[in-house]
Amino acid sequence: MLLDISLQTDPGTISDDPVMEARRQIEICNACRYCEGFCSVFPAITRDKVFADGDITQLANLCHNCRGCYYACQYTAPHEFDLNLPRALATARVESWERLAWPQAPARLFQRHATPVALMLVVSLALLFWLISALPGGGDGFYAWLSHGAMVAIFTPAFLLPLVSIGVSLRRYWVETGGGAVTGKAMAQAIRDAGRLRNLSGGQGQGCNFEKAERFSDARRHAHQAVMYGFLLCFAATASGTVLHYVFDAPAPYGFWSMPKLLGVPGGLLLVAGCAFMLVLRRKADPALGAPGRSGGESAFIWLLGLTGLTGLILYALRGSDATGIALAIHLGTVLALFLLLPFSKMAHGFYRFAALVRDAGDR
């Protein structure tokens, strides 16, 4: 097919449109290529000469905002090319999440603003308090406060519906970016890349430029690893509880030497520490290199995620005491808010990012 050169933009024309602006900067990078070794974005750029909208969406979601390419760039302001690729890609990225979300309105609301996230939490908490006071308990441990049947009735839809929504979005993502059949090899590569956060390594393990400007640091990678693995451990803890319940007919409460606790306690600690560390790092980072107007929603989400871990740990610490009911309501309320916001908060980035890694691994 002929190269559609009409897609090319003028490098001097800065655009307000996130996709156009990202395209302009990507084209300059493709003529320069000096940052090739930092991450997967640049090698992907060099595979093309012009960039359709779907290509921009893919590149934007592949970028981990390590910021290496900003501090290394010879064309940053006051140069007339005004390069700020981390920001341009972040802007196109958050815009893509809001565009691909299903439905879109809550994504625009929760991605941008902290207050609706907090309100969602309050509503979820209130609901749980009300349920616990209104419904009879049934069983041991926290089931004495809220029966297993009630929990399943609340959390099954609260978990599955957001997953359906994310599934729809990912499908839209795949269509927009022109992804083909997924190979096992690409999947395995993407899991390795995500698992090690290879794209935050600076390409050589020196780390990223998130909070120390020109200096490299692995702090963000470590913080993110703590959050990600903490979350996955907590999730595995819950899943193992489900398996124990249904397969082995061993309902909660579980002692410390059980899978749910052995996974959940370290997971909760990691999650809390990781979120706190991440919030500290974000205060030091230059906001001009991230997506404009999303920092409120993003921070609120990190708080919510950290609170999920913290309230889980508190619930465990207070087990058997009179305060269990309150702790349970708070923890379950937080988890509920987190689940419901899954497709509409920063949490969604994990899904898109993984899809982008799979897509990239398939292209390589």
Partner 1 sequence: MNDAQALAKESWDIVIAGGGNAALCAAIEAAEAGAKVLILEGAPKAYRGGNSRHTRNFRCMHHGALGPLVESYDEQEFWADLLRVTKGETDEDLARHTIRTSAECLPWMQAHGVRFQPSLAGTLSLDRTNAFFLGGGKALVNAYYLTAEDLGVRVLYDAQVTHVAMEGRRATHVEATIGDTPLRFATRAVILASGGFQSDIDWLARAWGPSARNFLIRGTPYNRGVVLKDMLDQGAQSVGDPTQCHAVAIDGRAPKFDGGIATRLDCVPFSVVVNRDGERFYDEGEDTWPKRYAIWGRLVAAQPDQVGFSIIDSRSIDLFMPSVYPPITADTLEELAERMELPADRLIATIEAFNAACRPGEFHPQDLDGLATEGLEPPKTNWARPITEPPFYGYILRPGVTFTYLGLKVDRTARAAGPDGPYDNIWSAGEMMAGSILGQGYLAGFGMTIGTVFGRIAGQEAAAHVA
Residues making contact with ligand SF4 (CB under 6 A): 28-29, 32-35, 38-39, 41, 63-69, 72-75, 83, 85-86, 89, 199
By C-beta, is 49 or 185 nearer to partner 1?
A: 49
By C-beta, is 67 or 112 nearer to ligand SF4?
A: 67
163, interface contact from ligand SF4, partner 1, none, CB < 5-8 Å by kind: none
3 touches partner 1 (CB under 8 A): yes
Backbone region of residue 79 per phi and psi (left: phi > 0; alpha: psi in -120 to 50; beta: other values): beta
Q: Report in angstroms how near the CB of residue 335 gets to ligand SF4 at its nearest.
A: 31
By C-beta, is 79 or 185 nearer to ligand SF4?
A: 79
288 touches partner 1 (CB under 8 A): no
2, interface contact from partner 1, ligand SF4, none, CB < 5-8 Å by kind: partner 1
Residues of this chain, 63-102, that bind partner 1 according to CB under 8 A: 68-69, 71-81
- Residue 146 and residue 354: Cα distance in Å, rounded? 36
17, interface contact from ligand SF4, partner 1, none, CB < 5-8 Å by kind: none
Secondary structure E strands in 212-325: none
363 touches partner 1 (CB under 8 A): no
- Residue 348 and residue 357: Cα distance in Å, rounded? 14
Distance of CA 202 to the CA centre of its chain: 20
Q: How many positions of this chain bind partner 1 (CB under 8 A)?
A: 41
By C-beta, is 10 or 322 nearer to partner 1?
A: 10
Number of H helices, E strands in the chain: 14, 0
Q: 3-state DSSP call for residue 282?
A: helix
58 touches partner 1 (CB under 8 A): no
- Residue 259 and residue 28: Cα distance in Å, rounded? 52
Q: Which residues contact 118 (CB under 8 A, 6 or more apart)?
A: 300
- Residue 291 and residue 282: Cα distance in Å, rounded? 13
Bridge-partner residues for 202, per DSSP? none
- Residue 246: both structure tokens together: 């249904």
Residue pointed to by tokens 């519906």:
161
Residue pointed to by tokens 């050169």:
5
- Residue 241 and residue 123: Cα distance in Å, rounded? 26
Q: Report in angstroms how near the CB of residue 211 gets to partner 1 at its nearest.
A: 15
208 φ/ψ angles, rounded to the nearest 5 degrees: -115, 180
- Residue 195 and residue 174: Cα distance in Å, rounded? 21
249, interface contact from partner 1, ligand SF4, none, CB < 5-8 Å by kind: none
Q: 3-state DSSP call for residue 177?
A: coil
Determine the interface stretch with partner 1 among 8-16, 255-263, 274-282, 349-357 (rule: CB under 8 A). Answer: 8-16
Residues of this chain, 19-38, that bind partner 1 according to CB under 8 A: 27-28, 30-38
Q: Report in angstroms how near the CB of residue 80 gets to partner 1 at its nearest.
A: 6
206, interface contact from ligand SF4, partner 1, none, CB < 5-8 Å by kind: partner 1
246, interface contact from partner 1, ligand SF4, none, CB < 5-8 Å by kind: none
Q: 3-state DSSP call for residue 217?
A: strand
Bridge-partner residues for 208, per DSSP? 217
By C-beta, is 14 or 236 nearer to ligand SF4?
A: 14
39, interface contact from partner 1, ligand SF4, none, CB < 5-8 Å by kind: ligand SF4
8, interface contact from ligand SF4, partner 1, none, CB < 5-8 Å by kind: partner 1
Question: What's the one-letter identity of residue 91?
Answer: T
Angle 216-219-223 (CA atoms, 0-180°, nearest 5)? Answer: 150
Footprint of partner 1 on this chain (CB under 8 A)? 2-3, 5-6, 8-11, 27-28, 30-38, 43, 46, 49-50, 68-69, 71-81, 203-204, 206, 214-215
